[in-house]
Structure 1
Amino acid sequence: MQLLVIYDVENDRTRVKVSEALKDYGLSRIQYSAFQGNLSPNRMQELYYRLKTTLGVEVGNIQMFPICDKDAKQIKEIENVSCG
Structure 2
Amino acid sequence: MIAAKEPGRHFTPEEYFAWEEQQLEKHELIDGRMYAMTGGTQNHSAIAINCGRLCQTPTARADPTLHRLCRYWLRYP
What is the TM-score normalised by the length of structure 1?
0.26
More helix per residue: 1 or 2?
A: 2
Relative to the length of structure 2, the TM-score reads 0.28
Structure with greater contact order relative to length (CA < 8 Å, sep ≥ 6): 1
